[in-house]
Chains A and B, each alone.
Chain A
Amino acid sequence: MRRVPTLLLVLATALALPGATLPGETKAFIEKNCAACHRSAKAPAGLDLTTLDFQPDNPENYARWVRVHDAVNLGAMPPAAPATLTSAERKAFTSAIAAPMLEFERQRAATQGRAVLRRLNRYEYENTLRDLLGAPWLQLRDSLPEDGIVQRFNKSGQALDVSHVQMSRYMETAEQALRLVLDASHKPETTKRYYARDQKRLLNRMRYSPFNNHPERASIPILGFEAQPDVLAEKAPLTVGDSDPMTRELEAFATPASTYVGNEYHFDQFAAPSGGSYKLRFNTHSIWIHTIYGALLRRDKVEWWRPDRDNTSRGRTTEPVTIYALSRGGEKRLLGTFDVTPEPAIHELDVHLLPGEMILPDASRLFRSRPGFVGSPDATEAGMPGVAYRWMEVTGPVRGAGKVDLTPGDPERSLRQFMTATYRRPPLEAEVQRYLKIVSARLATSPDFTEAMLAGYTAVLCSPGFLYLEEEPGPLTSNALASRLSYFLWNAPPDRELRTLAASGALRKPDVLHAQTNRLLDAPRAKDFLDAFLDFWLDLRKLGDTTPDQTLYPEYYLDDLLLESALKETQLFFGDLVRRNLPAASIVDARFTYLNSHLARHYDLPPVEGSKMRLTQLPANSPRGGLLTQASILKVTANGTTTSPVLRGAWIMERILGEPPPPPPPGVPAVEPDTRGATTIRQQLDKHRSIASCAACHRKIDPPGFALESFDVLGKWRDRYRSIGEGEPVKGIGKNGHAFTFRLSQPVDASGQLATGEPFHDIVEFKRLLLKNERQIARNLVRQFIVYGTGAPVSFADRAEVERILDAAAKDSYGVRSLLHQVVQSKLFTNK
């Protein structure tokens, strides 16, 4: 109901704008050149140009005129008679419709700004409260409803809605965060050691039960590297205890299993007493467990090499161990990874924990047996690898876990201080008085100062001054500029230095702004920008959304380390483009990437040591390099079971080239890859493409996808497709202990031809062709930065400024940092 008057008002404004109508000569052009086809609602693309009026304020209508402009400008329309139109005629028409469009946008930007008033999104909200309360350990993002998206990002006011549900979550989340921090600030820092032998979960794994009587899943008491059969048989005590510290230090629980649902072990005697930063130290080593040949399942009489719990020796492998925080609700949060070596060593991690969280180690490379397993891929006659845990030591919460000043005093002073920090500008007197009323009312009924201040603070955190980024039409005030800059490059509120520069007005000087851009990009917090940017631009937030099919890809079963490494690779790689100002074209190809041992093996590259990601030069003959051949991208563009050149091709056009293909026409069934192995996707698509109306788009969409057919659903190189039907059987055992049942079927053909005619044989040649579009790749990136940085979609009128930005960065080969600088200095960024 409320919308109607607003909308009428908007329309009235639009109609009142001078030049908001199309000049008469365009009508004549349309009548002469377009109307033969575009005459009714049944016309191509549903576009009836004879009745299409000009309503720039209606986004859908506006977008149609942009498409008309572009189609005529690029010569795509009118299609049948290209010779009948001179370029001057085209130009005259496109200029005639461009003029009122540009004028409309100019007027709107001047009176209302390009960007629409927006609230913080949930990433920004979390960072802001962490910053405000000095509590980097807070996890708040998921307490708020998902944000709406415009042009890929959660940054535009148009889609950042507020409902009563959103408000109730704000109130809850703010109060909860304040109380958590308050609680944490009272907890003393302590250091305590938790011996593996004292952990019930590990002990339970030592004793067999009806649900766990497999040595593959069990824990083994060891002293040094030697098994302790007497302890296992419970003839000897579980530990020597305090009486013999030297021996106790050598006691451990070893296991050949990783940690996963059904076989979870964790340090259960520790639960974080409060939120905060903690230091964890683990004393661990790898172990070798000898094997005996025996029956696995009573019924089926399957035999395999099984761990002998009475016989262990010094480890022979290095095993990555990932540490997760485990909530009481069973949720796991990644804290870090280290490599466990045969030599016992202490590994330290600085982590953030929430109250009640426990610590769960996962030796992720090891076997994850599932009911019905027939063997372990790790077990042989010689034995099998394992890890051993001696103890975990926890120090924390490290002091300074947060700052909510609630020492009784002057409520007005405290509130004013809080609001100054919260509002990213000095609060108005009326604003302070408004929220002071809540504090006073509370104090009037109860003398509890803390509760009263909490009420006031919660209210401030629900108020528009905090939740909304205040910008006024025209050039941004230096306060607004500081916020825009820091929510761009840190995804977080401006720090003291930025606010000081804003207060003095110096920030608006180009050289100061340039220096601040560099400072922000060089700070560790730039990671919050880069990660969030990649989460949305490349859909990395959806990396875990599909799981590899267990039948087709058993070796990927629950391989969390692979996914975690793939995500880090892309984050580190893109971070390098920004840090080292590398050319935007590196997105398509680069001679370096970040790898660890697991990922290097996945890519069939020379070994890299350990689980830490390392900057690695790629061999000259490697097809890897650039985003397209990274496991993360190849996974988010597949569905876990099959890959589709159409989906991957459309994705590349949209995300990398900035040319989103039109949606498929309604009623056309999707082409589904055939997992029975009878036909290849190419054979199916060739049929599709022989239909002229399909070919028009598919000759553009499919080729990039064809080039990526050499990569499976997790980005591993393949020469042949896998199938569940036809083909050659493959011997092996998956990570879940089940025998391979997939087959190798048809060979992969990754060749193709670009819409422009150039042929390519494989991904390497395809990338070479793509690299010719250096400016287009840079343009797409600039557009992403503009949406992300200004919160406004890139519009028709913004195109000129985008080209100016590109011109300015051309001399640096469109270096990614240069592009960022140019965006920040542009009038799109410095104006609302």
Chain B
Amino acid sequence: MSRSNFITRRAIPRRAFLRGAGVALGLPMLDAMRPAFAADETSAPPRRMLAICNNLGLLPGGFLPKTAGRDYELSPYLKTLAELREDFTAVSGVSHPDVDGSHSSEVCFLTAAPHPANGGFRNSISLDQFMADQIGVHTRFPSITLGVNVNRGPRSLTWTGSGVMIPCEDSAASVYRRLFLQGTEEEIERQITRLKLGESIMDSVAEHAGGLNAQLGPRDRERLDQYATGVRELERRLVLARAWERKPKPKAPQPPPTDPDSSRAYMEKVRLMYDMSRLAFETDSTRLITLFLDSASSPAIDIEGVNISDGYHNLSHHGRNESKLAQLEAIDQWHMKLLAGLLGKLKGVQEAGQPLLDRTMVLYGSNFGDANKHTTDNLPIILAGGGFQHGQHLAFDPQRNYPLPNLFLSMAQRMGIAADRFASSTGTMRGLEFRG
């Protein structure tokens, strides 16, 4: 594929993500972005999601709280999030049904497609794209796919409904540019031409369908009506998409970041990506972000005050070696500190009188329950913010795991999407209630 598709706002590998550089115009954030879509937004407040997968996970002993329910005792790792206790739910005893296959399970963290290691495997739509199909049209970027130390190859959390992988953006500086710097006139024109073409195609086929309608019996007419509705709805979405092209990008609220020049600076890269995610949400540039922390491809990483002897991946196969376990614990605790920092900042930003965190679901988890043994069950999961009744540990059966796609369905519904199924979900997540 040498070009992106007509529906240009669906990302296409390599070309995808966003377009270009230019002038930053001064505009206030958030609310300023709204008027064009006032009609869509009268009822529901905007909701957002950041989904993070660390493909080496967390040491089970450090993460797993010993008790369940609302009065649960914080585990060593969760103590680092103690100040935010009422803002997150810890989940254990969950996994994706039939997702096995060792390291390859990472591409299924947000898709739950079964058996990634088998011959003939095809991935399916990831949670963020599932949401983007419905709500992506409300923001300049329907979704953003980020990564840290992402190795080449099939590595991303984001997969379209066509089973196409969206590669990760690995540079915080480049994310910043795309969020805040305007594209060239030529790029904008090309984009607008394509969207207009999509609109005119939809307009033509809708008229075509309209012409047939009169000749049909009621059952057939109902079918064709449904088709015409789908066509008009897509057309409307293309028009909305086009409106973004001429709309100036928001003013950058802080100076651009500098990408660390070594993959050893893993934690700094994570911190920058958290920062970019927050900026994207604050400016309502997108409402859907995935962040893939490719720990398995990371070298011996820099951790303040700790001497890290081995590559991150190597450490994960600790074989109960005490020195390696201690190093891993230090790394895991840093993950928790950075997460606490992000959640705290999101809580500090207000949108329409509400903390941004309350409208932003932050999912942190892993495709591995225990990276040492490559197990894909009993995954460590933290869900923060986003308008749920948090402050609890939902402990499911470690022997017979509860389906994690149920959490995704709850999140999709919280996002305002009228879905009754996601991947292998069997319902919404038991014990997780909406708030507000």
User: Closest Cβ of chain A: how far from B151's Cβ, in Å?
Assistant: 12
Given contacts A169-B162, A179-B1, contact A119 B217 (CB under 8 A): no
Given contacts A157-B223, A438-B201, A455-B201, contact A145 B313 (CB under 8 A): no
Contact between chains at A210 and B117 (CB < 8 Å): no
Q: Verify if B212 is at the interface (C-beta below 8 Å from A).
A: yes
Out of B162, B200, B217, B374, which one reaches A142, CB within 8 Å?
A: B162
User: Closest Cβ of chain B: how far from A122's Cβ, in Å?
Assistant: 11
Cα A558 to Cα B202 in complex, Å, equals: 46
Out of B10, B103, B120, B311, which one reaches A262, CB within 8 Å?
A: B103
Q: Verify if B37 is at the interface (C-beta below 8 Å from A).
A: no
Which B residues are CB-close (under 8 A) to A371? 317, 373-374
Contact between chains at B10 and A112 (CB < 8 Å): no
Contact between chains at B120 and A165 (CB < 8 Å): no
Contact between chains at A330 and B220 (CB < 8 Å): no
A 449-490 binary contact with B (CB < 8 Å = 1; else 0): 000000100110011110110000100000000000000000
Out of B164, B204, B209, which one reaches A329, CB within 8 Å?
A: B164
Which B residues are CB-close (under 8 A) to A328? 153-154
Q: Verify if A813 is at the interface (C-beta below 8 Å from B).
A: no
Q: Verify if A322 is at the interface (C-beta below 8 Å from B).
A: yes
Cα A445 to Cα B221 in complex, Å, equals: 37
B 103-122 binary contact with A (CB < 8 Å = 1; else 0): 11001000000111111111
Task: Give how many A residues have a beta carbon under 8 Å from the other chain's beta carbons.
Answer: 82
Cα A492 to Cα B220 in complex, Å, equals: 22
Residue of A nearest to B105 (CB): A261
8 Å CB interface, B168-188 against A: none
Contact between chains at B115 and A169 (CB < 8 Å): no
Which B residues are CB-close (under 8 A) to A145? 161
Contact stretch, chosen from B22-30, B94-102, B246-254, B332-340: B94-102
Contact between chains at A175 and B233 (CB < 8 Å): no
Task: Give how many B residues have a beta carbon under 8 Å from the other chain's beta carbons.
Answer: 70
8 Å CB interface, B228-273 against A: 229-231, 233-234, 237
User: Closest Cβ of chain A: how far from B299's Cβ, in Å?
Assistant: 11
Contact between chains at B107 and A330 (CB < 8 Å): yes
Q: Verify if A811 is at the interface (C-beta below 8 Å from B).
A: no
8 Å CB interface, B189-206 against A: 193, 197-198, 200-202, 204-205
Contact between chains at B161 and A113 (CB < 8 Å): no
Residue of A nearest to B163 (CB): A142
Which A residues are CB-close (under 8 A) to B10? 168, 172
Q: Verify if B305 is at the interface (C-beta below 8 Å from A).
A: no
Q: Verify if B227 is at the interface (C-beta below 8 Å from A).
A: yes
Contact between chains at A176 and B1 (CB < 8 Å): yes
For B5, B200, B220, B311, the residue with the greatest tally of chain A CB atoms inside 10 Å of its CB is: B220
Q: Verify if B133 is at the interface (C-beta below 8 Å from A).
A: yes
Contact between chains at A464 and B162 (CB < 8 Å): no
Q: Verify if A516 is at the interface (C-beta below 8 Å from B).
A: no
Contact between chains at B311 and A10 (CB < 8 Å): no
Contact between chains at B7 and A465 (CB < 8 Å): no
Given contacts A143-B163, A545-B98, contact A564 B234 (CB under 8 A): no
Q: Verify if A420 is at the interface (C-beta below 8 Å from B).
A: no
Contact between chains at A544 and B120 (CB < 8 Å): yes
User: Closest Cβ of chain B: how far from A113's Cβ, in Å?
Assistant: 7
Which B residues are CB-close (under 8 A) to A113? 217, 220
Q: Verify if B302 is at the interface (C-beta below 8 Å from A).
A: no
Residue of B nearest to A472 (CB): B215
Cα A788 to Cα B261 in complex, Å, equals: 60
B 207-224 binary contact with A (CB < 8 Å = 1; else 0): 111011000111111111
Given contacts A171-B6, A329-B164, A331-B163, contact A117 B208 (CB under 8 A): no
User: Closest Cβ of chain A: how far from B168's Cβ, in Å?
Assistant: 13
Q: Verify if A183 is at the interface (C-beta below 8 Å from B).
A: yes
Out of A179, A438, A464, which one reaches B212, CB within 8 Å?
A: A464
User: Closest Cβ of chain A: how far from B420's Cβ, in Å?
Assistant: 14
Contact between chains at B208 and A465 (CB < 8 Å): yes
Q: Verify if B43 is at the interface (C-beta below 8 Å from A).
A: no
Cα A143 to Cα B1 in complex, Å, equals: 15
Residue of B nearest to A210 (CB): B314
Q: Verify if A162 is at the interface (C-beta below 8 Å from B).
A: yes
Which A residues are CB-close (under 8 A) to B42? none
Q: Verify if B378 is at the interface (C-beta below 8 Å from A).
A: no
Out of A162, A165, A431, which one reaches B208, CB within 8 Å?
A: A431
Cα A149 to Cα B323 in complex, Å, equals: 56
Cα A445 to Cα B200 in complex, Å, equals: 14
Contact between chains at B219 and A117 (CB < 8 Å): yes
Residue of A nearest to B237 (CB): A164
8 Å CB interface, B1-24 against A: 1-3, 5-7, 10
Cα A80 to Cα B311 in complex, Å, equals: 77
Residue of A nearest to B319 (CB): A299
Which A residues are CB-close (under 8 A) to B122? 142, 331
Contact between chains at B223 and A116 (CB < 8 Å): yes
Contact between chains at A10 and B118 (CB < 8 Å): no
Contact between chains at B117 and A260 (CB < 8 Å): yes
Which A residues are CB-close (under 8 A) to B117? 260-261, 558
Cα A322 to Cα B373 in complex, Å, equals: 29
Given contacts A169-B161, A210-B314, contact A261 B233 (CB under 8 A): no
Q: Verify if B301 is at the interface (C-beta below 8 Å from A).
A: no
Contact between chains at B102 and A362 (CB < 8 Å): no
Which A residues are CB-close (under 8 A) to B154? 328-331
Which B residues are CB-close (under 8 A) to A162? 226-227, 230
Which B residues are CB-close (under 8 A) to A168? 7, 10, 234, 237
Q: Verify if B73 is at the interface (C-beta below 8 Å from A).
A: no
Contact between chains at B209 and A464 (CB < 8 Å): yes
Cα A523 to Cα B192 in complex, Å, equals: 47
Contact between chains at B7 and A171 (CB < 8 Å): yes
Which A residues are CB-close (under 8 A) to B153? 328, 330
Given contacts A117-B224, A172-B5, A176-B1, contact A143 B115 (CB under 8 A): no
Out of B102, B161, B229, which one reaches A261, CB within 8 Å?
A: B102
Contact between chains at A117 and B374 (CB < 8 Å): no
Residue of A nearest to B211 (CB): A430
Which A residues are CB-close (under 8 A) to B412? none
Contact between chains at A564 and B222 (CB < 8 Å): no
Which A residues are CB-close (under 8 A) to B311? 210
Q: Verify if A161 is at the interface (C-beta below 8 Å from B).
A: yes
User: Closest Cβ of chain B: how far from A571's Cβ, in Å?
Assistant: 15
Cα A544 to Cα B99 in complex, Å, equals: 12
Contact between chains at B198 and A434 (CB < 8 Å): no
B 303-315 binary contact with A (CB < 8 Å = 1; else 0): 0000000010110
Q: Verify if A301 is at the interface (C-beta below 8 Å from B).
A: no
A 525-562 binary contact with B (CB < 8 Å = 1; else 0): 00000000000000000001111000000000010100
Contact between chains at B7 and A10 (CB < 8 Å): no
Cα A560 to Cα B117 in complex, Å, equals: 10
Contact between chains at B7 and A459 (CB < 8 Å): no
B 348-374 binary contact with A (CB < 8 Å = 1; else 0): 000000000000000000000000011
Enumerate 20 A-B pairs (CB-CB under 8 Å) in ascending A order.
A9-B218, A116-B223, A117-B219, A142-B162, A162-B226, A167-B234, A168-B7, A171-B202, A261-B102, A261-B116, A355-B1, A434-B207, A438-B197, A442-B197, A445-B193, A455-B197, A455-B201, A464-B208, A468-B227, A547-B118
Binding site for A on B (CB under 8 A): 1-3, 5-7, 10, 98, 100-104, 107, 114-123, 133, 153-154, 161-165, 193, 197-198, 200-202, 204-205, 207-209, 211-212, 216-227, 229-231, 233-234, 237, 311, 313-314, 317, 319, 373-374
Binding site for B on A (CB under 8 A): 2-3, 6, 9-10, 13, 111-113, 116-119, 142-145, 157, 160-169, 171-173, 175-176, 179-180, 183, 210-211, 260-262, 299, 322, 324, 328-334, 355, 362, 370-372, 430-431, 434-435, 437-438, 441-442, 445, 455, 458-459, 462-465, 467-468, 473, 544-547, 558, 560, 564
Q: Shortest 3 CB-CB distances between A and B: which pairs?
A: A330-B154, A112-B217, A117-B220
Given A179-B2, A331-B123, 11 further pairs, Cβ under 8 A? A112-B218, A112-B220, A116-B223, A164-B230, A165-B161, A210-B311, A299-B319, A332-B121, A370-B102, A459-B205, A464-B209
